[in-house]
């Protein structure tokens, strides 16, 4: 019984499942068919809407294309119209040019006809002129021949004599004209130049001291001399060897002489002696130690002196080596004049002159301070000091104007800038003032003799006298050989020869004196 009941339940379950399957399948198929119908309807609607939108878009595109076509057509018509108008204008201009050219051609042909007539007339006149010229030449040759017969002179001789006469007349007139110009310029320029120079000199109050080749070292008592000399002179020999200075110990009371042409070495020897005497220990080893320290001290002082002077003058940016050279100037002299004082004075003079003339005063002052740096070389050089100084200035970065002023202040090179003559004039003013420099008697007398000999070498000079320490040369000429006009020329020629053949400070005035003496004896 139990088996039958289970079987019945199972069969019922299977039948239920099969029934549900077939019933659900039918329901699903029905729903699927309904959805399919709806999808078809929606697809048809979408297709219809798309066709309508496509027709609308097509209509819009056709309208846009028509509008674009009309716009391009209008623009094309305008361009065609503009080009047609331009072509018409060009045609009109071409026609006008053709008409103008035709008129000009007509005028040209008319002028050519006139020119041909004129050329024909000119040719006739030229033929007439040639015949007249031939007649004139014949007449001229006849007149020349007649004059040669009358005067007993050939034409070439007459020409040469006439040229010589005209030359002499022109030379005389030129000399008188030059002299009048010189006098006129002197009247107007001399006072102004004197005024500027005097004002400049008055503003400079530099004291000048004559430098010697001998320094005097004062001592308290003569007992110190023996200690300085040392046993068998070993101390003094060591001192002379270390400093390069000749030490003269003689009978002069309480004084020792230091002789050397190098002022720096003399200063080193003087300071070393002073330290040794104060210290009291004088022997060769101590002498070498003191001299070495003193040399370093003097080198430091040289740099300090250079810095102090460029600060005092308001000059900046100078190379350290040039500062050392400026400091060494204190221990150098030129014709007895202290070189540093001379350079400072030239710097002041150049600055004042430049400011009076409206030029760069700082540049002129810098060139004035550096103009004589070539006089203090560490090693001897065969170059002139102006050229050597110019090379140093170029080496240490000075500008072209400064270098030209240094190199040309004694006319070794050509002056190319305006401050160069200012530096030269300032150098002459500083060195030419009375009492500033000292010359040896031999060089002084030789310069005077050379001046007189130059004057005597000219034709017609009777005597010549150099006066005022060689700053004026008076020339006496023979009145029968040199007339008044030639006297002016003679003074000019003598001046030029002195400039070319002599070296001298300042300026030399040449005065030519001509006098006529009428002497009769009553008997």
Residues 383 and 489 in one domain: no
pLDDT tens readout for residues 55-111: 888 888 888 888 888 888 888 888 888 888 888 888 888 888 888 888 888 787 777
Residue 179 lies inside a defined structural domain of this protein: yes
Residues 182 and 71 in one domain: no
Residues 342 and 392 in one domain: yes
| Residue 213 clears pLDDT 70, i.e. is over it | no
| Residue 1 clears pLDDT 60, i.e. is over it | no
Residues 319 and 429 in one domain: yes
- Count of structural domains within the chain: 5
Residue 135 lies inside a defined structural domain of this protein: yes
Distance, in Å, from the CA atom of 451 to the CA atom of 16, rounded to the nearest integer, reads: 164
Residues 228 and 184 in one domain: no
Residues 165 and 194 in one domain: yes
Q: Please report how the helices 234-243 and 263-279 are oriented relative to each other, as an axis angle in degrees rounded to 10.
A: 140
The four Cα atoms 65, 71, 74, 77 give a dihedral, to 10 degrees, of: -70
Q: For residue 458, what pLDDT band results from cuts at 50, 70 and 90?
A: very high
Distance, in Å, from the CA atom of 385 to the CA atom of 390, rounded to the nearest integer, reads: 8
Ramachandran class of 506: left when φ > 0, alpha when ψ lies in -120 to 50, beta otherwise: left
**Which comes out higher in pLDDT, residue 266 or 212?**
266
Distance, in Å, from the CA atom of 523 to the CA atom of 516, rounded to the nearest integer, reads: 23
Q: For residue 6, what pLDDT band results from cuts at 50, 70 and 90?
A: low
| Final residue of a structural domain among 381, 411, 438 | 438
pLDDT of residue 21: 67
Q: How many CA atoms lie within 13 A of 369 on its CB side?
A: 28
Among 28-32, 163-167, 208-212, 227-231, the range scoring the smallest mean pLDDT is 208-212
Q: Which residues are CB-neighbours of 318 under 8 A, at least 6 positions away? A: 310, 326, 366
| Residue 333 clears pLDDT 50, i.e. is over it | yes
pLDDT of residue 207: 45
pLDDT of residue 359: 86
Residue 22 lies inside a defined structural domain of this protein: no
Residues 140 and 166 in one domain: no
Q: What is the DSSP string of 374-438?
A: GG--SS--SS-HHHHHHHHHHHTT--HHHHHHHHHTTTSS---STHHHHHHHHHHHHHHSTTT--
| Alpha carbon distances (Å) from 160 to 157, 166, 168 | 5, 10, 12
CATH number, domain with residue 475: 3.30.300.20
Closest CA to 337 of 350, 349, 346: 346
Residue 67 lies inside a defined structural domain of this protein: yes
pLDDT tens readout for residues 336-364: 677 888 888 888 888 888 888 888 888 98
CATH number, domain with residue 353: 1.10.3210.10
| Final residue of a structural domain among 202, 219, 240 | 202
Residues 470 and 371 in one domain: no
Q: How many CA atoms lie within 13 A of 422 on its CB side?
A: 30
Is pTM beyond 0.85 here?
Answer: no
Residues 292 and 226 in one domain: yes
Q: What is the mean pLDDT of residues 496-513?
A: 83
Ramachandran class of 410: left when φ > 0, alpha when ψ lies in -120 to 50, beta otherwise: alpha
Closest CA to 329 of 319, 341, 321: 341
The four Cα atoms 70, 75, 76, 82 give a dihedral, to 10 degrees, of: 150
Instruction: Give the number of other CB atoms < 10 A from CB of residue 329.
Output: 25
Domain enclosing residue 344, as ranges:
313-438
Residue 226 lies inside a defined structural domain of this protein: yes
Residues 181 and 228 in one domain: no
Distance, in Å, from the CA atom of 130 to the CA atom of 123, rounded to the nearest integer, reads: 10
Q: What is the mean pLDDT of residues 218-245?
A: 76
Which tokens hold the place of 95? 């026609």
Residues 144 and 160 in one domain: no
Residues 318 and 349 in one domain: yes
């Amino acid at each position: 019984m139990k088996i039958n009941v289970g079987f019945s339940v199972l069969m019922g379950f299977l039948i239920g499942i099969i029934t549900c399957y077939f019933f659900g399948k039918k329901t699903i198929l029905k729903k699927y068919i309904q959805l399919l119908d709806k999808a078809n309807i929606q697809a048809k609607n979408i297709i219809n809407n798309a066709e309508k939108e496509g027709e609308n878009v097509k209509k819009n595109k056709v309208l846009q294309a028509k509008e674009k076509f009309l716009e391009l057509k209008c623009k094309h018509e305008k361009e065609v119209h503009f080009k047609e108008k331009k072509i018409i204008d060009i045609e009109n201009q071409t026609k006008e040019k053709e008409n103008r050219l035709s008129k000009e051609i007509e005028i040209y042909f008319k002028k050519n006809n006139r020119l041909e007539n004129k050329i024909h007339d000119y040719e006739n006149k030229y033929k007439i002129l040639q015949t007249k010229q031939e007649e004139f030449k014949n007449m001229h040759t006849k007149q020349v021949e007649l004059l040669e017969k009358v005067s007993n002179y050939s034409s070439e001789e007459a020409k040469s004599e006439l040229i010589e006469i005209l030359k002499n007349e022109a030379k005389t007139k030129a000399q008188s004209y030059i002299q009048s110009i010189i006098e006129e310029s002197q009247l107007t320029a001399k006072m102004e130049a004197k005024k500027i120079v005097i004002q400049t000199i008055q503003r400079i109050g530099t004291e000048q001291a004559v430098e010697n080749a001998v320094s005097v070292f004062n001592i308290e008592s003569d007992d110190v001399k023996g200690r300085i000399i040392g046993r068998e002179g070993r101390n003094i020999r060591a001192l002379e060897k270390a400093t390069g200075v000749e030490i003269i110990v003689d009978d002069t009371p309480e004084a020792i002489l230091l002789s050397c042409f190098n002022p720096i070495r003399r200063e080193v020897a003087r300071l070393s002696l002073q330290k040794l005497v104060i210290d009291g220990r004088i022997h060769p080893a101590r002498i070498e130690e003191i001299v070495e320290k003193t040399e370093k001290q003097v080198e430091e002082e040289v740099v300090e002196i250079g810095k102090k002077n460029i600060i005092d003058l308001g000059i900046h940016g100078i190379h350290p080596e040039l500062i050392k050279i400026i400091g060494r100037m204190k221990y150098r002299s030129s014709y007895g004049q202290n070189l540093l004082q001379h350079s400072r004075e030239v710097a002041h003079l150049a600055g004042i002159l430049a400011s009076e003339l409206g030029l760069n005063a700082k540049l002129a002052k810098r060139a004035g301070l550096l103009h004589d740096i070539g006089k203090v070389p560490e090693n001897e050089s065969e170059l002139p000091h102006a050229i050597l100084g110019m090379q140093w200035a170029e080496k240490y970065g000075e500008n072209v104007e400064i270098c030209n002023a240094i190199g040309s202040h004694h006319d070794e090179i050509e002056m190319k800038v305006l401050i160069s003559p200012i530096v030269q004039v300032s150098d002459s003013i500083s060195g030419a003032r009375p009492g500033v420099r000292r010359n040896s008697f031999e060089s002084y007398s030789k310069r005077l003799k050379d001046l007189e000999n130059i004057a005597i070498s000219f034709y017609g000079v009777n005597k010549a006298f150099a006066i005022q320490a060689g700053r004026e040369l008076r020339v006496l000429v023979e009145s029968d050989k040199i007339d008044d006009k030639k006297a002016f020329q003679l003074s000019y020629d003598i001046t030029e020869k002195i400039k070319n053949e002599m070296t001298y400070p300042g300026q030399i005035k040449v005065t030519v004196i001509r006098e006529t003496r009428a002497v009769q004896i009553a008997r």
